[in-house]
Structure 1
Amino acid sequence: MNIKKLLLKVSFVWGLLLVSSPLLYAQDYTFQVLALDGEVLYMKGEQWQAVELGQSLLVNDVLRLEENAYLGLAHRNGQTLALDKEGTYEVNRINAKVGNRAPGVASKYANLYVNSLKNANAKTANVSAERAIDKSRVKVFLPNSVDVFNDEVILRWDNASSLDETYEVKLKNMFNEVILVQEVKDTKTVLNFKDKKIANERMIIVSVNSVDFKEQHSNDYGMKHLTPEEAAPIARELKELKLEITDQQSALDKLILASFYEQNNLLADALTNYEYAISLAPDIEAFHLAYDQFIFRNGLAN
């Protein structure tokens, strides 16, 4: 082999290493922290230090959960695991209980979720203290216009001036005609796009107002249910993702599904999966925090 060919071969191999190195580095961890509640520690050197949200855990790490603590993990292959019993855990022993499946779609969206946690700024990290809503209006947690993939979405709103009111949720068509009204004594409701009153509408306009105080009302929000043709490429990847999720009723898996919808700019579907996560683990504050972080990350609290 002459020198020129040898140099070309070396350059090619080096190029492959450079391209693949981020992937190799990304898979260097064993678990990533998706959700965290209470006091969870890990051994670093000879000292116990606090585990952080979004942290990567290595195979030789040792964990300690104090009383009432909760730790939600995603394995590098995308499988999720929750620890909620007080005690000490060796990561290599936890790893041995997880299957040898290669990383796939679930791993991709778990990584994207963790990256969103790591990129959260100080304002997002303190969302519970930062919320400030105009007292004269109702704020629905939606962008002005949003595409919807699933037939069912959960709609939530916030009204800083009242804790116990009755609300009207009005759905109008593109001609500004009211086609459906829901009355609810809560700050959330479920919209079903298979409802015969809205099933054939290309676009619906949603607004919320207080029944007792008419001056307290939301803006109008446009919601468009994707056609089968528009939904097809999303449905294909979603099917693959759901095949990899071991338990679709897990609150942690709902976070990964929420990440999938967020990355596909389907924010109403993402919010719905945060709602599902909270309903599956209502006493775990980490899922309420994840919901708030999503709202602030996407500018839905303004």
Structure 2
Amino acid sequence: MKTKSLFLVALMLLIGGTTMAQNYAFRVLTAKGNNTASNNAIRVGSKLNNTDVIVMEQGGYLGLLHTNGQTVELRTKGTYKVNELASNLKASNNSSLTSRYANYVVSELTSAAEEASGENRYKHMGKTGAVERGDKKAITIIQESKVNMLGDKLEIEWFVYEDIAKIDKKEVKEYRIVLTDLRNNELYSEVTKETSYVIDFSRPELQDQTAVLYRVEVADEDKKDRNFKSGNQVIKKEKESDAKKEIREQLDQIGDDTALGHLIKAQYLEETGYYAEAAMAYKAAMALAPEVETYKILYDSFTERNTMSEKAIITQDKEKNASLNND
């Protein structure tokens, strides 16, 4: 009898634990506005049950993660039944992988108080500073000095390092991007007024290249003799391998072409070491939902911990110089 009773207790606990593990349909990853679910305020990290009814206000936004790993974005004022949202989803086989990276988003956003007190809230990585770059130049590239890329396109960014160039960045009107092969034979160059540029390996000049060098220089005629330019950087297309194939397959599984989908992709790309492409995914998320502050917060946190912004690079340099002066 004692053994039977213990078995029944264990069975009840197992059933109860299973029920508790499945007692919600969606988890809230991103939120904007005073939206409610069954009269309760919806916040990042909130769990929505099948019986809940969501009321969206005008201008509101919700990014939801279903327990099967699929995402839903709500942007329109109105009333939504959670069970109907769930029933409209198709079966998915990427639940655990998507949930893993989505949970990073929740962890990041629900710990704002720690960041306000100066603590790092990105628990799964910490401040890595993993991006390696060469010596700072008058034109400093934000991306790492050698990039291995998965796709065909890569956005590069730069800034005028005023302390090195000894000029105000507002004085620069145009930049020239120069691409060469590894023997320094020029492939092509282009001039832009922007401080970013997308290198596309599908261009005729680059189709036969597996790796290229590039640099950015000031194109203003009145500054040519000042030699304002960056060092040479390397972009290399990854060779196909089982490991890279798996990364590409997982990348295809964990996100769709929505702001939330790109955000989850960004988390995955960062952890797998593709920082430049992670930055592109963050930017894609912000472009698709420019009104949602969440995406900008996460992008700024990404650039800070990986030293991938003008502010982060200059701050790091000042900290290093201060440390050297104190020694």
TM-score, length-scaled by structure 2 = 0.64
Name which one, 1 or 2, has greater alpha-carbon Rg: 2
What is the deviation of 1:189? 1.7
Q: 1:207 aligns with which of 206, 210, 215?
A: 215
Distance 1:195 1:268, change over 3 A: same
What is the deviation of 1:79? 1.2
Query: Aligned pair count?
Result: 268
Could you tell me which residue of structure 2 aligns to residue 36 of structure 1?
A: 31
State the distance in 1 between where 2:27 and 2:243 align: 28
Could you tell me which residue of structure 2 aligns to residue 156 of structure 1?
A: 157
Distance 1:155 1:25, change over 3 A: farther
Are the aligned partners of 1:73 and 1:81 in contact in 2 as well (CA < 8 Å)?
yes
Are the aligned partners of 1:206 and 1:220 in contact in 2 as well (CA < 8 Å)?
yes
- The amino acid across from 2:88 in the alignment is K
Could you tell me which residue of structure 1 aligns to residue 61 of structure 2?
A: 70
TM-score, length-scaled by structure 1 = 0.68
- The amino acid across from 2:244 in the alignment is I
State the distance in 1 between where 2:305 and 2:22 align: 26
State the distance in 2 between where 1:91 and 1:163 align: 54
- The amino acid across from 1:73 in the alignment is L
Could you tell me which residue of structure 2 aligns to residue 169 of structure 1?
A: 177
Distance 1:241 1:265, change over 3 A: closer
Question: 1:107 and 2:99 equivalent?
Answer: yes
State the distance in 1 between where 2:110 and 2:47 align: 14
Could you tell me which residue of structure 2 aligns to residue 234 of structure 1?
A: 244
Aligned identity (percent) is 26
Residue aligned with 2:144, SS: coil
CA deviation map 1:239-263 (0-9, x unaligned)? 3553565xx4323222222222222
What is the deviation of 1:148? 0.6
Could you tell me which residue of structure 2 aligns to residue 147 of structure 1?
A: 148
Are the aligned partners of 2:215 and 2:233 in contact in 1 as well (CA < 8 Å)?
yes
Unaligned runs of 5+ in 2: 122-136, 161-167, 314-327
Distance 1:201 1:97, change over 3 A: closer
State the distance in 2 between where 1:224 and 1:26 align: 44
State the distance in 2 between where 1:78 and 1:56 align: 16
Are the aligned partners of 1:140 and 1:158 in contact in 2 as well (CA < 8 Å)?
yes
State the distance in 2 between where 1:259 and 1:106 align: 10
Question: 1:270 and 2:278 equivalent?
Answer: yes
Are the aligned partners of 1:169 and 1:182 in contact in 2 as well (CA < 8 Å)?
yes
Are the aligned partners of 1:106 and 1:241 in contact in 2 as well (CA < 8 Å)?
no
Residue aligned with 1:169, SS: strand
- The amino acid across from 1:33 in the alignment is V
Are the aligned partners of 1:141 and 1:295 in contact in 2 as well (CA < 8 Å)?
no
Residue aligned with 2:170, SS: coil
- The amino acid across from 1:82 in the alignment is E
State the distance in 1 between where 2:140 and 2:26 align: 37
Are the aligned partners of 1:251 and 1:278 in contact in 2 as well (CA < 8 Å)?
yes
State the distance in 2 between where 1:299 and 1:78 align: 31
- The amino acid across from 1:207 in the alignment is R
Distance 1:61 1:220, change over 3 A: farther
State the distance in 1 between where 2:23 and 2:159 align: 42
Are the aligned partners of 2:108 and 2:298 in contact in 1 as well (CA < 8 Å)?
no
State the distance in 1 between where 2:19 and 2:273 align: 28
Q: Which has the higher contact order (CA 8 A, sep 6+)?
A: 1
Could you tell me which residue of structure 2 aligns to residue 221 of structure 1?
A: 233
